[in-house]
Structure 1
Amino acid sequence: MTTHFNPQAGRSAWPASRVAALAVTLAVLYVAVPLALGQNLYLMSLAVASLTIAGIALAWALLGNLGGMVSFGHSAFFGVGSYISALLTLKAGWPVFPAIAAGGVGAAMASFAMAPALRLKGPYFALAILAYAQIFRIVATEWSGLTGGASGLSSIPSLPKVAGFDFGSKSGGYLVILTIVIVFAVVYAKLRGSHVGLALRAMHESEDATRVVGVNSVILKLAMLMLSALMTGLVGAFNAHYINFLEPDYAFNASWAVVPIIAAICGGYRTLLGPLVGAVSVYLIDQLVLKSLLPTGHQIVLGMLLVAMIIVSPAGLTALRLKRTRRGVYAAG
C-alpha cells in the first residue's frame, strides 16, 4: 500500500464555528452598526474616532511585537500622511482615495529617514523617534508657503461619493476606517504567521544568532518600521479628509502616539485583537465616562488605568480573559 504525503495535511483549517463567528462579526460591524447608529451623528463620530485610534494602535503593536521596537513618535507618521494627502488634493487636484494611499506611502518614505535610529535600542530608540516627530512638526509649522504654517489647511476635500454612496458622511467614514483597520489586521496576521514573522521572533531572542544564520536584522527592522509608518500614515490621511482641517499642532500632537500606546498595552499588544479591543474600550470609556466626570483631567485617569493594567495583567485585557477562560475549563474538567 502506497502512502502519499499531503503537504496541506499539517495545516489546521478554521473550524466552522470560528468561520461563522467571523461572518457574524463582520455583518454586525458593516451592517448592524451603521443601521443602528447611522442617525446618531455623535455616536458615529465616536465609532470613527475609536477605529482611528485602533488603526494606529495596531500599527504600533506590529512594530513593538514583531519589530521589537517601542516608539513614542508615531504622531510623525500620522502627521506626514495627513499633510501629504491633504496637499495632493488641495494643490495637485488628486482624487481623495489615491491621495490617501500616497499619504501612507509618503509616511513610509519619511520613516526611511529614521534608519540611523535603528542602531539604537530600547528607550533610546523610542526617544529618537519622538525627536523626529518634533522635527516634522517644526518643518510643517515653518514651511508656511506649502503647509499654511500655524494657520493650517482648511477646506480639505471630503471623502467622495462612489456609486451614489456618500463616503463623506459619518456612516461612510465609518465604513472606510473600518475597512482600513480590518486590512491592517489581516496583514498583521499573515505577517506574524509567515517565515518573516518567525525570523522576527527569533531575532528578539538573539539578534546576533540570527545574523549568524544569514538573517539581516537591520533590513527586517527597517521593513517593520516602514510598514508601521505606512499603516499610521494611511490613518492620518483618512483623518485629514474626514475632519477637513489640518494644522501642525493637531497633526503631530503627542496624543496620536500616547493614546494608541495606552490602548495597545491595555488590550494586549502581543495579540492581534488586543490593540483593537483596547482602542475601542479605552477611547469610549474616556469619552463617555471619564470626560463627563473630569472634563479637564480625564487623561490622567487613563494614565492610572495603564499603570493598573501593567500591575494586574501586563499582557493586557485579552490575556486576562484567556486566563479566566482556561481556569473555567480546568474547573469544569
Structure 2
Amino acid sequence: MTNMSNISSMLEQSRAIDYYLLIRSPPIVAYFYLWGYLIIFILGFTGNIASLLTFIRPTLRRVSTGTLFIVLAISDTLFLFASIFDFIDFGLQVPLYGRINYDILCSYRVFVISMTQICSAWILVIISIDRWIRTRFPHKSARLCTPKKALIAVVIVIFVDAIIHSPMLTPFFGMLLPGVAIIACGPNVKQKLYLNFYYYTWTIIQIFINCLIPGLLMLLVLLDMFINIRVRKRALSQQIQFQNQTINRNRFFQKELFLLMLSSIIIFLTTTLPIATFRIIFPKQVLTMKVEEYGSVMSISAGLTCFWSFNYAINFYIHCLTSKLFRKEFIELIKFISKGNHNAVLPITHTRITQFTPKRQK
C-alpha cells in the first residue's frame, strides 16, 4: 500500500504543476502512434470493410462461421475507431485536454477498446468451437452450428463483456495524466481501493480473459481438429466413387473456412502474446519505478501496442493470402461493384450452399 500511496501522491501533485515536465513521452512514442497508427488505419478500415462486404455474400453469410466473421470485422472496426483518439492525442499531439471532457473521453475510449479486445478474442474462440463441432460431430453440426445460435453466443459474450468493464463508465475511472501515453487514463486516484485493484489485480485478470485463456482454448481446439481431420481423411478415402464429387466440394468448403479460422488465430496469438507478457510485468514495476524510467517503458509499450493493433487491421489480407474461397468471393464482389448493377442480386459462386445442407453432410 505504500507504493500505491506514492503513485497516488505523484499523480495528485502532477496536476498542480506542469506534468509535462514531470513525465514526458519520448519522441519515438509519438512516431509509433503517428506513423504506426496511420498505417494501421489505412490497412484496417479498408480491409475490415472489404471483409464485411465479402462475408455478407450469400455463400458465406449462410453458414455460422461466416456470420461470426462478420461480427469480428465489426468489432475490429470499432476498436480502430476508438484508437483514433490515441492517434490524435499521442501521435498528432493535438491536446484534447481542455477542449473536451477528458474524463468522459477516457471512460468511453478505454471501455470500447477493452470491450472490443475481449469481444474479438472470444469470437475467435466461438469460431474455433464452431469449426471443431463440424469436424468432431459432423452429423450434429447442421443443428448446432447455425447463424442464429452463433449470434446468440456473441450476444452472451458482449453482455458479459459489458458487465465486467462497466466500472470504466463510473467515477472510479477517468483522467490521470492527459496527453501522456499509457497513463493518460486510469483509475481515479481518490478511489484508493479501486486503484489498488486495477493495477494489482484487474490488469492481470484482463490479460488472462482477453489473451491467455482464449489462446489456450483455441490451441486445444486446433490440436484436436488436426488429429480428427487425419483420422477422417482415411475414412473419406473409402467412400463410394459416385459420392466423390460432393465429398470433395464439401471438403473444399470446410477446408477453406478452417484456413480462415487458422490464419485469424495465428495473427491473434502473434500480435497479442508480446503485449500480454509486457502487461503482466508492467503493473508490478510501475508503482516502484523512478520518474526518469517512464520514458523507456512508454517506448516499449507504444511499440508493442502498435504491433498488437495490427491484429485488428490485417485479417482481410491474411484471408486473401490463405483462402481460395475468400479470394473467389472477394473477386465476385469486385466484379459486382464494378458493373454498377446495384439492383441485382449478388451472384453466388460455384461453391453452392445447397451442397452443404444436412442431408449431404456425412
Measured against the shorter chain, the TM-score band is under 0.3
TM-score by length of 2: 0.26
Give the greater-gyration-radius structure (CA).
2
